[in-house]
Amino acid sequence: MPEPRFNRIAVIGLGLIGGSFAAAAKKHNLAASVVAGSRSARTLEQGIALGVVDDGSQDLAKAVQGADLVFVSTPVSAMGAVLAALRPGLAPGAIITDGGSVKGRVIDAAREALGSHASRFVPGHPIAGKEKSGVTAADADLYRDHRVILTPTTETDPAATARVRAIWTAMGAEVLQMAPDYHDQVLAETSHLPHLLAFSLVDTLARQGDSTEIFRYAAGGFRDFTRIASSDPVMWHDIFRENKAALLQALGLFSDGIERFRQAVEQEDSDALMGIMTRANTARAHFLAMNGRTSYTRAQHSGDDTIMTDSAIHKGNANPTYTVAPGGQLAGRLRVPGDKSMSHRSIMLGSLAEGVTRVEGFLEGEDALATLQAFRDMGVVIEGPHNGQVTIHGVGLHGLKAPGKPLYMGNSGTSMRLLTGLLAGQAFDVELTGDASLSKRPMERVAKPLRDMGAQITTGNEGRPPVRIRGGQSLKGIHYDLPMASAQVKSAVLLAGLYADGETSVTEPAPTRDHTERMLGGFGYSVRRDGATSAVTGGGTLTAGKLEVPADISSAAFFLVGASIAPGSEVTLPHVGINPTRTGVIDILKLMGADIRLENQRDAGGEPVADIVVKAAPLKGIEIPESLVPLAIDEFPAIFIAAACAEGDTVLRGAEELRVKESDRIQVMADGLAALGVDHEVFEDGIRITGGEFGGGEIQSHGDHRIAMSFAMAALRAKGPIIIHDCANVATSFPGFAGLATHAGLNLEEA
């Protein structure tokens, strides 16, 4: 067992929070001894009897004698008196931290009570709790997988902050750090205000003459919202008083919102009502996704599994692991989700169109929902999605409004890059942010040509997010030769061209997906296409209409590969988009000997679609033609699995773009192949894979959805189980993948 981090920890206030801190310190051997200070002799007796603490005293100065860490967990209003009472017993180097839910007033009290020792005070707030209170409810695991916010000031000793951070981390908590004022503002808006509103609503109804009847017929929604009005009035009385300024500011914002709602109802303003309610309908999931750094779709369906309040954060299974047993075969008619690229663009162009656009087959996945939320944040009324149906009330090319906060793109590089172009010509400033993975991806490749058009754009360190765009710039049309094939860069420049003076044209060195050009035409905007060059002229108008999104060939690719490599398999994938700029995966698999045929070919909203039938077939290694690389850039993780099952070598070159996707897909796939025992050689721009038998193993997907799904299919030919970690982002492009794959015959368990 490691040596304790502290010699003696003193916990002042032995309720649930303090008692759980003491219990966790003992469980993890974080101190040689843990003692308590409390005004209540009975509480001390209970704490000692339960083994939560080793000893205690009602004299707070005596309780902290010899302690090198003091954790104060008392009501915020009592904090000043408590700190003053314990100060005489503090050792010169003792660190003090607290668990108060309001930081500004606590810091003021600490400065006054502790004097020169205030530099050793590290303000903190554990966001954890449960319904029971008191030392008898103490739980050594209360803080595991929960958040603790530290709010050190400029005078706080950094070494003290580091030691407090370390002990919370050792207890299993995730430690965040923010300014005290910001902490109080955030908690006022997300916790204190909801409690105030619940108390107010219940009190208002209780004072009505017919309150008995009102409560008798109250529905579940009323009970759920007003449940928090049963919280401890004494505690919340203190919080409301101690966080007065921030709470009043939050209450003012809420009052403004209520007034907008009242006016919309009074004036029967249908668009305003729908705007408020559609934004609110998805705002909770968006909020939880950002705060939990989990998938938007997982947060959307989490119910009460992921709730942030002042008393607790309860997390669901935010980052599942796939365990896939070896063997099996795939069969059936499998409808994969809608095309992600087209879903993005349907929201963007529908929002900028004049009139109402109705979309069928919209992908309700993480990335597309990030785009949808961004346009809601810019004032566009969007109904749905409901079973793939979305109704967009377009505002025209110049009708977007400045968002009140940065636009969060989650994991979606497509959202960020295309929006950078589209927003370059707006009248307002905007910032685009993303999750940890997106924040590592290059954005200068988009920013550079947009600056040539007159846009003012800045990026973060090394040209990565966040992306900040200065509004009100006059854009001019340019011709841009893409240095490498990229549909995202091409689309960003063309979308900026809608707002530019004159013609904007882009020439690409190799064909890339042309959904932007096709969809612009579908919305009535003229696009000139001449070989490898596409061009638009600014100043036109987009006209709303009906749009049908076909099934995504990138999602179909996993089943194309799975059915090809598993003996006895046969699947039909209906209504899949077969845009010629996207069918590289089919061409490559056919070159390898795959049995794939297209049936019922037809046109859907300007895009070619077909039902794809694939049967198991022996595959052989090939040298992948470089001309096909841009046409299959997103499908290569799945193709790598096909190569591992093929006879001989498969060689890919000219695919350096794979290194700057959601992960370095060349290296991450190579690491996974190595874990399974597949012979391979990595190049800077590709890989050689030698097919043959391979075993099971553990795969680190690095949060890359396509890596996770590809290795799930590999289990069909593996000799042992494959365990795939970090699979939350599968919802990025394929919500419901695990269920559909299991239904088709894959032996997959999600945990």
Whether 58 and 80 have beta carbons less than 8 Å apart is answered as no
454 is in an annotated binding site: no
340 is in an annotated binding site: yes
> Half-sphere exposure of residue 566, counting CA atoms within 13 Å on the CB side?
27
227 is in an annotated binding site: no
The two beta strands, 6-12 and 69-72, are parallel
Name the burial class of residue 216, with classes exposed (0-12), middle (13-18) and buried (19+) by CB atoms within 10 angstroms of its CB: exposed
448 is in an annotated binding site: no
341 is in an annotated binding site: yes
b/e per residue 247-268 (b: at least 16 CB within 10 A): beebbeeeeeeeeeeeebeeee
132 is in an annotated binding site: no
Alpha helices in 433-552 (DSSP H): 444-452, 487-497, 515-522
Which tokens in the block code for residue 650? 């498969």
413 is in an annotated binding site: yes
* Residues whose CB is less than 8 angstroms from the CB of residue 527 and which lie 6 or more positions away in sequence, other chains included: 494, 517, 520, 521, 534, 535, 536
Q: How far apart are the first and last CA of the chain?
A: 30
Q: Would you call 54 a catalytic residue per the annotation?
A: no
Cα–Cα distance, 585 to 652 (Å, whole number): 13
Polymer length of the chain: 751
b/e per residue 35-49 (b: at least 16 CB within 10 A): bbbbeeeebbebbbe
- CA 356 from chain center: how many Å? 29
Which tokens in the block code for residue 546? 């009906």
* Residues whose CB is less than 8 angstroms from the CB of residue 116 and which lie 6 or more positions away in sequence, other chains included: none
The identity of residue 116, as a single letter, is: S
665 is in an annotated binding site: yes
486 is in an annotated binding site: yes
The full 3-state SS of 98-160, as one line of letters, equals: ECCCCCHHHHHHHHHHHHHHHHHEECEEEECCCCCCCHHHCCCCCCCCCEEEECCCCCCCHHH
Q: Which of 377, 514, 634, 704 is catalytic?
A: 634
Whether 113 and 1 have beta carbons less than 8 Å apart is answered as no
Which residues define the annotated binding site for 3-phosphoshikimate?
340-341, 345, 486, 488, 634, 661
Which residues define the annotated binding site?
340-341, 345, 413, 441, 486, 488, 634, 661, 665, 706
Which residues define the annotated binding site for phosphoenolpyruvate?
340, 413, 441, 488, 665, 706
Active site residues: 634
